[in-house]
Chains A and B, each alone.
Chain A
Protein backbone atom coordinates (compact mmCIF):
# COMPACT_ATOMS: atom_id res chain seq x y z
CA UNK A 1 0.00 0.00 0.00
CA UNK A 2 2.97 2.29 0.65
CA UNK A 3 3.78 2.12 -3.06
CA UNK A 4 0.37 3.43 -4.05
CA UNK A 5 0.50 6.10 -1.34
CA UNK A 6 3.79 7.29 -2.89
CA UNK A 7 2.24 7.26 -6.36
CA UNK A 8 -0.77 9.22 -5.07
CA UNK A 9 1.45 11.85 -3.40
CA UNK A 10 3.52 12.28 -6.57
CA UNK A 11 0.52 12.35 -8.93
CA UNK A 12 -1.28 14.87 -6.72
CA UNK A 13 1.83 17.04 -6.87
CA UNK A 14 1.88 16.88 -10.70
CA UNK A 15 -1.76 17.93 -10.97
CA UNK A 16 -1.20 20.71 -8.43
CA UNK A 17 1.83 21.96 -10.37
CA UNK A 18 -0.22 22.11 -13.56
CA UNK A 19 -3.11 23.89 -11.84
CA UNK A 20 -0.62 26.48 -10.57
CA UNK A 21 1.54 27.01 -13.63
CA UNK A 22 -0.97 26.21 -16.41
CA UNK A 23 1.98 25.52 -18.69
CA UNK A 24 0.97 22.30 -20.37
CA UNK A 25 -2.78 21.72 -20.64
CA UNK A 26 -3.78 25.05 -22.26
CA UNK A 27 -1.04 24.54 -24.87
CA UNK A 28 -2.26 20.99 -25.59
CA UNK A 29 -5.88 22.15 -25.92
CA UNK A 30 -5.00 25.04 -28.19
CA UNK A 31 -2.78 22.84 -30.34
CA UNK A 32 -5.25 20.01 -30.86
CA UNK A 33 -8.14 22.34 -31.72
CA UNK A 34 -5.95 24.45 -34.03
CA UNK A 35 -4.66 21.32 -35.78
CA UNK A 36 -8.20 20.05 -36.38
CA UNK A 37 -9.26 23.45 -37.75
CA UNK A 38 -6.25 23.48 -40.11
CA UNK A 39 -6.99 19.91 -41.24
CA UNK A 40 -10.65 20.83 -41.78
CA UNK A 41 -9.72 23.57 -44.23
CA UNK A 42 -6.87 21.69 -45.90
CA UNK A 43 -8.70 18.39 -46.51
CA UNK A 44 -10.75 18.26 -49.72
CA UNK A 45 -14.50 18.02 -49.09
CA UNK A 46 -14.70 14.69 -50.94
CA UNK A 47 -11.96 13.13 -48.75
CA UNK A 48 -12.72 9.77 -47.18
CA UNK A 49 -13.42 9.05 -43.51
CA UNK A 50 -10.14 7.11 -43.42
CA UNK A 51 -8.21 10.27 -44.29
CA UNK A 52 -9.89 12.35 -41.59
CA UNK A 53 -9.35 9.58 -39.02
CA UNK A 54 -5.66 9.51 -39.92
CA UNK A 55 -5.42 13.25 -39.42
CA UNK A 56 -7.12 12.98 -36.01
CA UNK A 57 -4.50 10.45 -34.91
CA UNK A 58 -1.71 12.73 -36.13
CA UNK A 59 -3.22 15.62 -34.14
CA UNK A 60 -3.52 13.46 -31.01
CA UNK A 61 0.00 12.11 -31.37
CA UNK A 62 1.56 15.56 -31.61
CA UNK A 63 -0.65 16.83 -28.77
CA UNK A 64 0.71 14.00 -26.61
CA UNK A 65 4.24 14.91 -27.71
CA UNK A 66 3.63 18.52 -26.69
CA UNK A 67 2.54 17.44 -23.21
CA UNK A 68 5.37 14.93 -22.83
CA UNK A 69 7.93 17.57 -23.77
CA UNK A 70 6.96 19.46 -20.62
CA UNK A 71 6.39 16.44 -18.38
CA UNK A 72 9.72 16.75 -16.54
CA UNK A 73 10.24 20.51 -16.84
CA UNK A 74 9.49 21.15 -13.15
CA UNK A 75 11.84 18.32 -12.13
CA UNK A 76 14.65 19.69 -14.31
CA UNK A 77 14.51 23.05 -12.55
CA UNK A 78 16.40 22.96 -9.26
CA UNK A 79 17.29 19.29 -10.02
CA UNK A 80 14.17 18.11 -8.18
CA UNK A 81 14.41 14.74 -9.91
CA UNK A 82 17.59 14.11 -7.86
CA UNK A 83 15.58 14.76 -4.72
CA UNK A 84 12.87 12.31 -5.79
CA UNK A 85 15.41 9.67 -6.82
CA UNK A 86 17.08 9.87 -3.40
CA UNK A 87 13.79 9.26 -1.56
CA UNK A 88 13.33 5.69 -0.31
CA UNK A 89 10.23 5.11 -2.42
CA UNK A 90 10.35 2.70 -5.35
CA UNK A 91 11.57 4.75 -8.32
CA UNK A 92 8.94 3.26 -10.59
CA UNK A 93 6.40 5.17 -8.47
CA UNK A 94 7.79 8.38 -10.03
CA UNK A 95 7.10 6.93 -13.51
CA UNK A 96 3.62 5.69 -12.61
CA UNK A 97 2.61 9.01 -11.04
CA UNK A 98 3.92 10.96 -14.02
CA UNK A 99 2.08 8.54 -16.34
CA UNK A 100 -1.18 9.21 -14.51
CA UNK A 101 -0.65 12.95 -14.90
CA UNK A 102 0.01 12.56 -18.63
CA UNK A 103 -3.13 10.39 -18.93
CA UNK A 104 -5.25 13.07 -17.24
CA UNK A 105 -3.90 15.82 -19.51
CA UNK A 106 -4.39 13.65 -22.62
CA UNK A 107 -7.91 12.76 -21.53
CA UNK A 108 -8.85 16.42 -21.07
CA UNK A 109 -7.34 17.34 -24.46
CA UNK A 110 -9.29 14.52 -26.12
CA UNK A 111 -12.51 15.50 -24.35
CA UNK A 112 -12.23 18.76 -26.26
CA UNK A 113 -10.76 17.29 -29.47
CA UNK A 114 -13.39 14.60 -30.09
CA UNK A 115 -16.42 16.93 -30.17
CA UNK A 116 -14.40 19.24 -32.45
CA UNK A 117 -13.60 16.26 -34.69
CA UNK A 118 -17.30 15.32 -34.75
CA UNK A 119 -18.16 18.88 -35.71
CA UNK A 120 -15.58 19.26 -38.49
CA UNK A 121 -15.36 15.71 -39.89
CA UNK A 122 -17.23 12.53 -38.93
CA UNK A 123 -19.45 11.46 -36.03
CA UNK A 124 -17.43 9.85 -33.24
CA UNK A 125 -18.17 6.12 -32.82
CA UNK A 126 -17.48 3.84 -29.87
CA UNK A 127 -14.62 2.19 -31.79
CA UNK A 128 -12.78 5.50 -31.96
CA UNK A 129 -13.32 6.22 -28.27
CA UNK A 130 -12.18 2.70 -27.29
CA UNK A 131 -9.11 2.95 -29.54
CA UNK A 132 -8.16 6.35 -28.11
CA UNK A 133 -8.55 5.17 -24.51
CA UNK A 134 -6.30 2.17 -25.18
CA UNK A 135 -3.84 4.26 -27.18
CA UNK A 136 -3.57 6.77 -24.32
CA UNK A 137 -2.18 4.07 -22.04
CA UNK A 138 0.56 3.16 -24.50
CA UNK A 139 1.39 6.77 -25.35
CA UNK A 140 1.63 7.72 -21.68
CA UNK A 141 3.67 4.63 -20.71
CA UNK A 142 6.26 4.92 -23.48
CA UNK A 143 6.20 8.71 -23.59
CA UNK A 144 6.85 9.18 -19.87
CA UNK A 145 9.89 6.90 -19.97
CA UNK A 146 11.29 8.66 -23.04
CA UNK A 147 10.52 12.10 -21.61
CA UNK A 148 12.58 11.20 -18.52
CA UNK A 149 15.44 10.04 -20.77
CA UNK A 150 15.25 13.19 -22.88
CA UNK A 151 15.06 15.45 -19.80
CA UNK A 152 18.58 14.38 -18.84
CA UNK A 153 19.90 15.34 -22.27
CA UNK A 154 20.91 18.76 -23.56
CA UNK A 155 19.23 17.98 -26.90
CA UNK A 156 15.93 17.09 -25.22
CA UNK A 157 13.72 18.93 -27.74
CA UNK A 158 15.23 16.83 -30.53
CA UNK A 159 15.63 13.59 -28.67
CA UNK A 160 12.06 13.13 -27.47
CA UNK A 161 10.31 13.20 -30.89
CA UNK A 162 13.13 11.17 -32.45
CA UNK A 163 12.64 8.40 -29.88
CA UNK A 164 8.91 8.72 -29.35
CA UNK A 165 7.49 8.80 -32.87
CA UNK A 166 9.06 5.57 -34.16
CA UNK A 167 8.08 3.71 -30.99
CA UNK A 168 4.41 4.74 -31.21
CA UNK A 169 3.90 3.80 -34.87
CA UNK A 170 2.11 0.59 -33.69
CA UNK A 171 -0.31 2.81 -31.72
CA UNK A 172 -1.20 4.69 -34.89
CA UNK A 173 -1.57 1.44 -36.83
CA UNK A 174 -3.84 -0.02 -34.15
CA UNK A 175 -5.78 3.21 -33.63
CA UNK A 176 -6.48 3.90 -37.30
CA UNK A 177 -7.12 0.20 -37.96
CA UNK A 178 -9.70 -0.05 -35.17
CA UNK A 179 -11.58 2.95 -36.53
CA UNK A 180 -11.77 2.03 -40.22
CA UNK A 181 -12.49 -1.72 -40.28
CA UNK A 182 -15.82 -3.41 -39.69
CA UNK A 183 -14.52 -5.65 -36.92
CA UNK A 184 -12.22 -3.53 -34.69
CA UNK A 185 -11.66 -6.26 -32.07
CA UNK A 186 -8.37 -7.45 -33.55
CA UNK A 187 -6.89 -3.93 -33.60
CA UNK A 188 -8.17 -3.11 -30.10
CA UNK A 189 -6.58 -6.33 -28.88
CA UNK A 190 -3.35 -5.30 -30.59
CA UNK A 191 -3.46 -1.92 -28.79
CA UNK A 192 -4.11 -3.63 -25.45
CA UNK A 193 -1.14 -5.97 -26.02
CA UNK A 194 1.08 -3.01 -26.94
CA UNK A 195 -0.03 -1.23 -23.73
CA UNK A 196 0.72 -4.26 -21.59
CA UNK A 197 4.18 -4.92 -23.05
CA UNK A 198 5.35 -1.32 -23.06
CA UNK A 199 3.86 -0.50 -19.65
CA UNK A 200 5.77 -3.41 -18.09
CA UNK A 201 8.99 -2.50 -19.94
CA UNK A 202 8.74 1.18 -19.01
CA UNK A 203 7.82 0.45 -15.39
CA UNK A 204 10.73 -1.94 -15.00
CA UNK A 205 13.34 0.19 -16.77
CA UNK A 206 12.55 3.63 -15.33
CA UNK A 207 15.00 3.18 -12.45
CA UNK A 208 17.88 2.72 -14.91
CA UNK A 209 16.85 5.83 -16.81
CA UNK A 210 16.86 8.18 -13.83
CA UNK A 211 19.92 6.78 -12.11
CA UNK A 212 23.28 7.06 -13.78
Chain B
Protein backbone atom coordinates (compact mmCIF):
# COMPACT_ATOMS: atom_id res chain seq x y z
CA UNK B 1 0.00 0.00 0.00
CA UNK B 2 1.44 3.39 -0.97
CA UNK B 3 0.69 6.91 0.16
CA UNK B 4 0.88 10.46 -1.15
CA UNK B 5 4.44 10.70 0.22
CA UNK B 6 5.53 7.59 -1.69
CA UNK B 7 6.12 5.73 1.53
CA UNK B 8 4.75 2.22 1.79
CA UNK B 9 2.86 0.87 4.75
CA UNK B 10 5.13 -1.38 6.79
CA UNK B 11 2.85 -2.12 9.75
CA UNK B 12 -0.92 -2.05 9.74
CA UNK B 13 -3.22 -3.17 12.53
CA UNK B 14 -7.02 -3.26 12.54
CA UNK B 15 -8.93 -4.06 15.71
CA UNK B 16 -5.79 -5.67 17.10
CA UNK B 17 -6.19 -7.38 20.45
CA UNK B 18 -4.30 -9.85 22.55
CA UNK B 19 -5.38 -11.93 25.49
CA UNK B 20 -3.31 -14.11 27.80
CA UNK B 21 -5.88 -16.52 29.17
CA UNK B 22 -8.63 -14.39 30.65
CA UNK B 23 -6.43 -11.30 30.83
CA UNK B 24 -6.81 -8.86 27.95
CA UNK B 25 -3.60 -6.91 27.41
CA UNK B 26 -4.38 -5.11 24.14
CA UNK B 27 -7.77 -4.29 22.67
CA UNK B 28 -9.17 -2.77 19.52
CA UNK B 29 -5.97 -1.14 18.30
CA UNK B 30 -5.82 0.48 14.87
CA UNK B 31 -2.46 1.50 13.56
CA UNK B 32 -0.59 2.28 10.36
CA UNK B 33 3.15 2.87 10.22
CA UNK B 34 4.82 3.76 6.92
CA UNK B 35 8.42 3.23 5.93
CA UNK B 36 10.82 5.61 7.64
CA UNK B 37 8.32 6.58 10.33
CA UNK B 38 9.04 6.37 14.03
CA UNK B 39 6.24 5.12 16.27
CA UNK B 40 6.60 6.04 19.93
CA UNK B 41 4.73 3.66 22.24
CA UNK B 42 4.22 4.72 25.84
CA UNK B 43 2.05 3.64 28.72
CA UNK B 44 2.25 2.34 32.28
CA UNK B 45 3.57 -1.10 33.23
CA UNK B 46 1.29 -3.86 31.99
CA UNK B 47 -0.35 -1.66 29.35
CA UNK B 48 0.82 -3.93 26.53
CA UNK B 49 3.86 -2.11 25.08
CA UNK B 50 6.08 -5.21 25.06
CA UNK B 51 3.19 -7.36 23.85
CA UNK B 52 2.59 -5.00 20.93
CA UNK B 53 6.25 -5.18 19.89
CA UNK B 54 6.31 -8.99 20.25
CA UNK B 55 3.20 -9.13 18.03
CA UNK B 56 4.93 -6.94 15.44
CA UNK B 57 8.02 -9.19 15.59
CA UNK B 58 5.83 -12.23 14.95
CA UNK B 59 6.67 -13.88 18.26
CA UNK B 60 3.04 -13.67 19.35
CA UNK B 61 -0.12 -14.07 17.32
CA UNK B 62 -3.08 -11.71 17.72
CA UNK B 63 -6.10 -13.18 19.48
CA UNK B 64 -8.34 -10.47 17.99
CA UNK B 65 -8.18 -8.36 14.83
CA UNK B 66 -5.44 -8.30 12.25
CA UNK B 67 -1.81 -7.28 12.14
CA UNK B 68 0.26 -7.15 8.98
CA UNK B 69 3.99 -6.49 8.89
CA UNK B 70 5.06 -6.15 5.28
CA UNK B 71 8.66 -7.27 5.70
CA UNK B 72 10.29 -10.71 5.91
CA UNK B 73 11.50 -11.59 9.40
CA UNK B 74 15.14 -11.30 8.34
CA UNK B 75 14.64 -7.57 7.76
CA UNK B 76 13.35 -6.94 11.29
CA UNK B 77 15.49 -6.12 14.33
CA UNK B 78 13.84 -6.83 17.68
CA UNK B 79 15.21 -5.60 21.00
CA UNK B 80 13.47 -7.33 23.90
CA UNK B 81 13.74 -6.94 27.66
CA UNK B 82 16.09 -9.93 27.62
CA UNK B 83 19.26 -9.79 25.56
CA UNK B 84 18.46 -12.93 23.47
CA UNK B 85 22.11 -13.99 23.62
CA UNK B 86 23.84 -16.99 25.19
CA UNK B 87 25.47 -16.30 28.55
CA UNK B 88 28.06 -19.05 28.12
CA UNK B 89 29.30 -17.62 24.82
CA UNK B 90 31.46 -14.53 24.43
CA UNK B 91 30.14 -11.31 22.90
CA UNK B 92 32.03 -12.10 19.69
CA UNK B 93 30.74 -15.68 19.49
CA UNK B 94 27.15 -14.54 20.00
CA UNK B 95 27.36 -11.90 17.29
CA UNK B 96 29.17 -14.30 14.97
CA UNK B 97 26.35 -16.85 15.39
CA UNK B 98 23.67 -14.26 14.62
CA UNK B 99 25.77 -12.90 11.76
CA UNK B 100 25.90 -16.36 10.20
CA UNK B 101 22.17 -16.96 10.68
CA UNK B 102 21.32 -13.57 9.15
CA UNK B 103 23.90 -14.13 6.38
CA UNK B 104 25.52 -10.77 7.07
CA UNK B 105 28.03 -9.84 4.35
CA UNK B 106 31.48 -8.83 5.65
CA UNK B 107 30.44 -10.29 8.99
CA UNK B 108 33.69 -9.79 10.88
CA UNK B 109 34.09 -6.16 9.86
CA UNK B 110 30.44 -5.37 10.70
CA UNK B 111 30.70 -7.06 14.09
CA UNK B 112 33.98 -5.30 14.86
CA UNK B 113 32.54 -1.91 13.96
CA UNK B 114 29.46 -2.45 16.14
CA UNK B 115 31.49 -3.67 19.12
CA UNK B 116 33.77 -0.64 18.79
CA UNK B 117 30.83 1.72 18.55
CA UNK B 118 29.11 0.31 21.63
CA UNK B 119 32.33 0.19 23.67
CA UNK B 120 32.47 -3.60 23.85
CA UNK B 121 35.55 -4.27 21.73
CA UNK B 122 37.83 -4.83 24.73
CA UNK B 123 35.26 -7.20 26.26
CA UNK B 124 34.66 -9.13 23.03
CA UNK B 125 36.29 -12.32 24.35
CA UNK B 126 34.46 -12.24 27.69
CA UNK B 127 31.49 -14.48 28.33
CA UNK B 128 28.22 -12.59 28.37
CA UNK B 129 27.39 -14.13 31.77
CA UNK B 130 30.12 -11.93 33.26
CA UNK B 131 28.68 -8.76 31.68
CA UNK B 132 26.83 -6.12 33.67
CA UNK B 133 23.18 -5.52 32.73
CA UNK B 134 24.22 -2.38 30.84
CA UNK B 135 26.85 -4.25 28.83
CA UNK B 136 24.28 -6.93 27.99
CA UNK B 137 21.92 -4.22 26.75
CA UNK B 138 24.68 -2.77 24.57
CA UNK B 139 25.41 -6.23 23.17
CA UNK B 140 21.69 -6.72 22.52
CA UNK B 141 21.71 -3.47 20.53
CA UNK B 142 24.68 -4.76 18.50
CA UNK B 143 22.70 -7.95 17.80
CA UNK B 144 19.66 -5.96 16.68
CA UNK B 145 21.64 -3.72 14.32
CA UNK B 146 23.97 -6.41 12.96
CA UNK B 147 21.97 -7.24 9.82
CA UNK B 148 20.95 -3.66 8.99
CA UNK B 149 17.21 -4.15 9.59
CA UNK B 150 14.58 -2.10 7.76
CA UNK B 151 12.24 -2.27 10.74
CA UNK B 152 13.48 -1.79 14.29
CA UNK B 153 11.30 -2.84 17.21
CA UNK B 154 12.92 -1.47 20.33
CA UNK B 155 11.55 -2.30 23.76
CA UNK B 156 13.08 0.10 26.28
CA UNK B 157 16.30 0.71 24.34
CA UNK B 158 17.75 2.92 27.11
CA UNK B 159 17.10 0.36 29.84
CA UNK B 160 20.08 -0.23 32.18
CA UNK B 161 22.36 2.04 30.16
CA UNK B 162 24.59 4.69 31.75
CA UNK B 163 24.48 8.31 30.58
CA UNK B 164 27.15 7.84 27.88
CA UNK B 165 25.57 4.71 26.44
CA UNK B 166 22.10 6.33 26.55
CA UNK B 167 23.45 9.31 24.61
CA UNK B 168 24.98 6.89 22.11
CA UNK B 169 21.57 5.27 21.60
CA UNK B 170 20.02 8.74 21.12
CA UNK B 171 22.59 9.54 18.41
CA UNK B 172 22.03 6.18 16.78
CA UNK B 173 18.26 6.61 16.71
CA UNK B 174 18.70 10.08 15.22
CA UNK B 175 20.91 8.64 12.48
CA UNK B 176 18.44 5.87 11.69
CA UNK B 177 15.30 8.03 11.82
CA UNK B 178 13.92 8.68 8.37
CA UNK B 179 15.75 5.72 6.81
CA UNK B 180 14.62 2.91 9.10
CA UNK B 181 11.08 2.33 10.27
CA UNK B 182 10.98 2.14 14.06
CA UNK B 183 8.60 1.30 16.85
CA UNK B 184 10.05 2.32 20.20
CA UNK B 185 8.40 1.42 23.49
CA UNK B 186 9.72 3.45 26.37
CA UNK B 187 9.01 4.84 29.82
CA UNK B 188 11.17 7.83 28.93
CA UNK B 189 9.35 9.40 25.95
CA UNK B 190 11.39 12.61 26.11
CA UNK B 191 14.38 10.82 24.60
CA UNK B 192 12.44 9.69 21.52
CA UNK B 193 9.71 12.33 21.23
CA UNK B 194 11.67 14.60 18.86
CA UNK B 195 12.10 11.75 16.38
CA UNK B 196 8.61 10.34 16.62
CA UNK B 197 6.22 10.76 13.71
CA UNK B 198 3.41 9.02 15.61
CA UNK B 199 2.70 8.47 19.27
CA UNK B 200 0.64 5.72 20.77
CA UNK B 201 -0.34 5.85 24.41
CA UNK B 202 -1.54 2.52 25.77
CA UNK B 203 -3.69 2.53 28.86
Contacts and interface: CB of A to CB of B under 8 A. Distances in A.
A17 interface: yes
Contact of B100 (A6, A82, A86): A6
Contacts of A16: 89, 93
Interface stretch (A27-35, A71-79, A134-142, A159-167): A71-79
A83 B81 CA distance: 12
Interface in A55-95: 74, 77-80, 82-89
Interface in A139-155: none
Contacts of A86: 57-59, 73, 76, 78
A5 interface: yes
Nearest to A78: B82
A13 B86 contact: yes
A212 interface: yes
Contacts of B176: none
Given A6-B101, A9-B97, A78 B85 contact: yes
A78 B87 contact: yes
B85 A88 contact: no
B102 A88 contact: yes
A5 B143 CA distance: 19
B74 interface: yes
* Interface range, A side: 20 to 34
A42 interface: no
Given A13-B97, A16-B89, A86-B58, A79 B84 contact: yes
A209 to B, nearest CB: 14
Place the interface of chain B in its size category.
20 to 34
A17 B86 contact: yes
Contacts of B72: 88
A2 B103 contact: yes
B180 interface: no
B87 A82 contact: no
Which of B61, B97, B103 has most chain A Cβ within 10 Å? B97
A41 to B, nearest CB: 37
A83 B73 contact: no
A185 B97 CA distance: 42
B109 to A, nearest CB: 18
Contact of B88 (A21, A82, A84, A87): A21
B86 to A, nearest CB: 6
A17 B89 contact: yes
B59 to A, nearest CB: 6
Interface in B98-151: 98, 100-103, 127, 143
A13 B99 CA distance: 13
Contacts of A2: 103
A9 B100 contact: yes
B34 to A, nearest CB: 22
B80 A74 contact: no
A85 B101 contact: no
B60 interface: yes
Interface in A184-212: 211-212
Given A21-B88, A86-B73, 10 more contacts: A20-B88, A20-B89, A20-B127, A79-B80, A82-B59, A83-B98, A86-B57, A86-B78, A88-B72, A212-B59
19 contacts: A2-B103, A5-B100, A6-B101, A9-B97, A10-B97, A13-B93, A13-B97, A17-B86, A17-B88, A77-B87, A78-B83, A79-B82, A82-B82, A83-B85, A86-B76, A86-B78, A88-B74, A211-B58, A212-B59
